[in-house]
Structure 1
Amino acid sequence: MTPQTNAATAMSEHDLISLGTRAFQGLGLPQADAEDVAKVLVLADLFGLSTHGLSRIESYGDRLKVGGINPTAQVSVNAVASAIRLVDGDNGVGPLVGMHALRAAMEAAKACGVGVAFARGSNHFGPISPYSLIAAEAGFASIIGSNATTTIAPWGGSDARLGNSPIGFGVPNPGGQPFLLDMAMSVVARAKIRNALKQGAAIPDTWATDKDGRATTDPKAALDGFLLPVGGHKGYGLALMVDLFAGLLSNAAYLTHVKSWVDAPDEPQNLGHFFILIDTSVLGSTAWLTDRMNDFASILHGSPAVEADKPVIVPGEIELKKLARHRAEGFVPDPAVLAQLQECAALTK
C-alpha cells in the first residue's frame, strides 16, 4: 500500500511527480509513459491551473477503466518531411501524446530551424503552458494548439458544432522569464463552470448560454448549453483555425466528428494537436534575445497602471510566479485529489 500523505502538507514537485507517476501506473500505464503524463499535470498545478492538473486523474482514470483511453498506447512518429512529423497517439493519454509530439517538433526544429508536429489519435492533453515552458527552456519559440469536444455553437448557430480549442504561444528569454500565453477560445473553460456547479455558485452571464442560446448564471444550465467565444465572431474564427490545424490537417477528428468524453467515455476521441516550434538560436545569440525580451517586457511594465495595486503584466508572469513559489515552498494538493492519487497508486504492482 502507498503510505498516506497528510492532506495539509505541502509536497515538492519531485514528490508530486512521483505520486502522479505511481497513480497512472496503477491505472495501467508503463512507468515512462506515466511519468510523462504526471510531469505535464504537475506543472499545470504548480502554475495554478488546478482544473487541468492532477485533478484530471478522475476524468482520465474513468476513461482508462472503461477502455476509452488505451493505457499501453504505442505512440509512433513518422518524419514525412525534414521539418514535419506526424504523430499517431494510438488513443493514448493526452499528455503522453503531447510530450511525444513536443519532442518530435523540437527534434525537427533543431535540425531545420523550424519543426512542426501534427498529432492524431489523442485525448485531452492538459493545458498548453507546460509544453510552451518546456520548449522555451530549450530555446524554442512555439505555437501549440489542440481541438476539443464540441461545446460552442457556430456564430449565429443554435447547436454545438465546434470545440473550445485552446491555443498557446511561447517565446524564450535566456536571461529572464519567457513569454507564455495559454488561452481557450471561450470566455472561460468548461472546467470553471463545472467547479462552480460543484461549489453551488453562480457564474457571470457572459460565460455561457443555456440550451436555447440565452445568457445564464446557472452553471447547470450552462453545461447543458453552449460556451460563448471570446471576442464574438472573431473568437469563432480563431477556434475554427485551431481545429483546422489540430484536427483536419493532423488527420484527427474535427468539429462534430470529435467524440464527447462525457457522453461516450468508452470510445476514442481521436483528438488532434499541433506543435510549431522555432529554434531561436539560429536567429541570434542568447544575449541578443535576452536584451530584446527584457526590453519588450520593460516597455509594457513601464505603462502607468490604471489601478496602483494592479500593475501591467506580461502574459505568463502570474503563472511563472506561482510556479517559482510552489517550487520553493511546495504545493498542497486538494484532499480529494490526493486521496484519489493515493488510491490509484496503491494499485501499482
Structure 2
Amino acid sequence: MSETALPEADLLDLATRALTAGGMLAEEAALVARVLVLADLFGVRTHGISRVAQYLDRVRIGGIDARADVATLRVAPGLATVDGRNGIGPLVGMRALEAAMEGARAAGIGAAFARGSNHFGPIMPYALLAAEQGFASIIASNATTTIAPWGGKDTRVGNNPIGIGVPNPGGDPVILDMALSVAARAKIRALAQRGELIPEGWATDSEGKPTTDPKAALSGFLLPVGGHKGYGLAVMVDLLAGLLSGASYLTHVQAWDKNPGAPQNLGHVFILIDTSRLGSAEWLRDRMADFAAILHETPAADSASPVMLPGEREMAAYARGRTEGVRVATADIERLRELAGT
C-alpha cells in the first residue's frame, strides 16, 4: 500500500477543508480534523482521516447531520449532558470533552454524558488533549453490537472502547486506549479487503465456531478480551455510556455499515479529574517518573522487546510524526483532496 507523509498542519488543513466542503462549519470541521489527525499521528489509521469519506457518505444520505447544533446542558457544577443531535461523532466527543473539562475546573471532578452521537474516533486523542490540560481521564463509548454475551450465540453487546489517561508534567502522559474485543472489527475488515486471514482467537463465524476467515468473522461476532471478564466490562461501559446518557444501548444501536442512513444514537461518557487539586505539578512529575522507572527497569523476557507503559508506542509515533510528517495511505490523501475540491 502506497503511503504519503504530510506535515501535521497540512493534513489538518486538508481534512478541515474536506469536512467543510461536506457541509460542516469550518470551526467545527477543525475540531473533527484535530481528533482524526491525532489518530493518524498515533498510528491508529483505521480511525484517522480515512474516516472522513465514511462520515461524509453518511451525511449525503441523511444518516448524519453535518450542521447539527450540539447542545450542552450543565445539570450540576461538575456534571453535564451533551445532546449530539446526530452530529459527526468527533464533534460531539470534543463538545463532551470541553464540558467535562469545565466541570472538572469548577468541582475538581467533571463528567459529561453524551447522546445522539456517531462514531467518535479513538479515545487516545481526547485523553491526550485532557492530559495536556492537567486532567486525568476515564473515557468510554458504546458501539454497534459485534460481541455475543458470554455463553450466547448472537451479537447483543458492542465492542465498546474505554480509555484511561494520566498526565505527566514535562513528559508523555500514560494513556490506555482499548476496545473490549481481542481485535477491532476495523482490523478484520482491513484484512478482508487485503485477502488475508485473521489470527486464531479473534472471532467466530455466525454459528459461533472459531474462524480465521475475515469474511466469516464479519458475519459472525468478535470474541471479548479476557473471556467473561471482557464481556462484563463491555456491559458496564454500555450502562455508563449508553443507558445513563440517554443514548441507544445494546441492540438499539444502529449499525452504520448495515443501515448508514439511520442515526446511530451512540453514547459517550467523559470523566475528568483535575490533578492540580491533588498535588503540585512537581509532585506529580516526580511520582510519574518513579512509577515509569519501576516498570521500565523490569528485566525483559526478550531483550528486543523492553517493558513499555500503556500508550508508549503510540506516543513515540506521535512525536515522530510531528517532526517527520504524518504517514497515511496515499489513497486516503487523494480522497481527501477530491472531497475538498482541490
Cα RMSD (Å): 0.9
Q: Does 2:206 align with 1:231?
A: no
Letter in 2 for 1:179: V
1:307 aligned partner? 302
Correspondence for 1:145 among 140, 149, 152: 140
Q: Does 2:90 align with 1:95?
A: yes
1:200 aligned partner? 195
Correspondence for 2:324 among 326, 329, 336: 329
Letter in 2 for 1:209: T
Alignment of 1:1-349 (within 5 A): 9-346=4-341
Asked if the contact 1:185/1:235 (under 8 Å) is kept, the reply is: yes
Give, in whole Å, the separation in 1 of the partners of 2:165 and 2:143: 21
Give, in whole Å, the separation in 1 of the partners of 2:188 and 2:53: 17
Give, in whole Å, the separation in 2 of the partners of 1:302 and 1:8: 36
1:271-314 CA-partner distances (Å, limit 9, x unpaired): 00000000000000000000001100000001000000100000
Runs of 4+ deviating beyond 6 Å:
none
Equivalent pairs: percent with the same residue?
62
Letter in 1 for 2:308: I
The gaps in structure 2 that reach 5 residues or longer are none
What TM-score do the two structures reach when normalised by structure 2? Answer: 0.98
1:11-31 CA-partner distances (Å, limit 9, x unpaired): 111111100000101111110
Letter in 2 for 1:16: L
How far residue 335 of structure 1 moved from its aligned partner, in angstroms, is: 1.4
1:4 aligned partner? none
1:101-159 CA-partner distances (Å, limit 9, x unpaired): 00000010001000000000000000000000000000000000000000001111111
Matched residue count: 341
Helix, strand or coil for the counterpart of 2:210?
coil
The gaps in structure 1 that reach 5 residues or longer are 1-6
Asked if the contact 1:57/1:340 (under 8 Å) is kept, the reply is: no
How far residue 8 of structure 1 moved from its aligned partner, in angstroms, is: 5.9
What TM-score do the two structures reach when normalised by structure 1? Answer: 0.96
Distance 1:255 1:8, change over 3 A: closer
1:225-254 CA-partner distances (Å, limit 9, x unpaired): 000000000000000010000000000000
Helix, strand or coil for the counterpart of 1:169?
strand
332-341 vs 299-308, which deviates more?
332-341
172-181 vs 8-17, which deviates more?
8-17
Asked if the contact 2:37/2:48 (under 8 Å) is kept, the reply is: yes
